């Protein structure tokens, strides 16, 4: 089991990370909530990890905060919620925001997350209601937000949103509405995901 990684961040392209630890490069999938807090490549990073063994592959998931890993582990125990959907949930809402959606029984907001239909949203509300309490209080590491603007932040944000399950046409609308001059990819993605969860869409 791999519970934590501390090493050099070699590469980051949502949802994939490459972290070198003792000369070994670990490929890690992470939600956007973690990407927002990553340091620049070449710097040290600490990730809380979940190691999953599948029939055809091994997968490693990394999180900036212990609370995110705890929520991820709770989500994948629910029928109909796989790792990809759990990452989409964590990308679209913070642990505290997700807890509020569950406590309010906000089905309309939940079904706007890729991979979640009405039945799954209803199941989440029923099964997660007791589990989300106190998750936000779990401690975790914090990182410095990466500086600098990528060469094409709009394209990078678009690729990341599609990898989370949003359809190309929807991605185009979200990015167009979110992108402002000077924004880096993380800023565009953060605003686009918030827009995606807004009522009335």
Neighbours of 137 (CB within 10 A): 9
Q: So what's the pLDDT on residue 146?
A: 34
User: Is 96 among the domain residues?
Assistant: yes
Q: So what's the pLDDT on residue 57?
A: 80
| pLDDT tens, position by position, 14-73 | 889 999 999 999 999 999 889 888 999 999 999 999 999 877 788 999 999 999 999 999
User: Is 31 among the domain residues?
Assistant: yes
Q: So what's the pLDDT on residue 71?
A: 92
**Residue 121's Cα: distance from chain center in Å?**
18
Question: Quick check: 108 and 199 in contact, CB under 8 A?
Answer: yes
> Which CATH number does the domain housing residue 167 bear?
1.10.8.10
> Which CATH number does the domain housing residue 78 bear?
1.10.150.20
Q: What is the pLDDT along the chain (201 residues), one digit of tens a residue?
A: 789 999 999 999 888 999 999 999 999 999 988 988 899 999 999 999 999 987 778 899 999 999 999 999 999 998 888 898 899 888 888 888 888 889 888 888 888 887 788 898 899 988 888 777 655 444 433 333 333 334 578 878 887 887 777 777 788 888 888 888 888 888 888 888 887 877 655
Q: So what's the pLDDT on residue 17?
A: 94
Single residue among 87, 110, 137 that ends a domain in this structure:
137
Question: Quick check: 119 and 88 in contact, CB under 8 A?
Answer: no
Domain extent for 186: 153-196
Domain count of the fold of the chain: 3
Question: Quick check: 121 and 110 in contact, CB under 8 A?
Answer: yes
**Rounded Cα gap, residues 144 and 162, in angstroms:** 26
Q: So what's the pLDDT on residue 103?
A: 87
Whether residues 89 and 112 fall in one domain: yes
> Which CATH number does the domain housing residue 51 bear?
2.40.50.140
User: How big, in percent rounded to 5, are the helix, strand and coil portions of the chain?
Assistant: 45, 20, 35
Whether residues 37 and 14 fall in one domain: yes
User: Is 90 among the domain residues?
Assistant: yes
Q: So what's the pLDDT on residue 201?
A: 55
**Rounded Cα gap, residues 151 and 51, in angstroms:** 33
**Rounded Cα gap, residues 89 and 87, in angstroms:** 5
Q: What is the pTM of this model?
A: 0.69
Q: So what's the pLDDT on residue 200?
A: 56
Q: So what's the pLDDT on residue 159?
A: 78
């Amino acid at each position: 089991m791999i519970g934590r990684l501390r090493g050099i961040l070699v590469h980051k392209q949502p949802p994939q990370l490459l972290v070198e630890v003792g000369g070994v490069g670990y490929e890690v999938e992470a939600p956007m909530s973690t990407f927002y807090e990553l340091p620049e490549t070449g710097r040290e990073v600490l990730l809380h990890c979940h190691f999953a063994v599948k029939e055809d592959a091994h997968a490693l998931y990394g999180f900036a905060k212990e609370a995110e890993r705890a929520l991820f582990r709770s989500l994948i125990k629910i029928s109909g919620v796989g790792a990809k959907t759990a990452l989409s949930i964590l990308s679209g809402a913070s642990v505290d925001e997700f807890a509020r959606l569950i406590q309010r029984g906000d089905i309309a907001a939940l079904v706007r997350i890729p991979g979640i239909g009405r039945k799954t949203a209803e199941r989440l509300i029923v099964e997660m209601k007791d589990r989300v309490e106190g998750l936000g209080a779990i401690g975790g590491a914090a990182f410095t937000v990466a500086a600098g603007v990528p060469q094409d932040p709009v394209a990078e944000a678009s690729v990341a949103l599609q990898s989370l399950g949003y359809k190309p046409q929807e991605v185009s609308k979200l990015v167009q509405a979110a992108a402002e001059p000077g924004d880096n990819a993380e800023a565009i993605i953060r605003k686009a995901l918030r827009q995606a969860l807004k009522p009335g869409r």
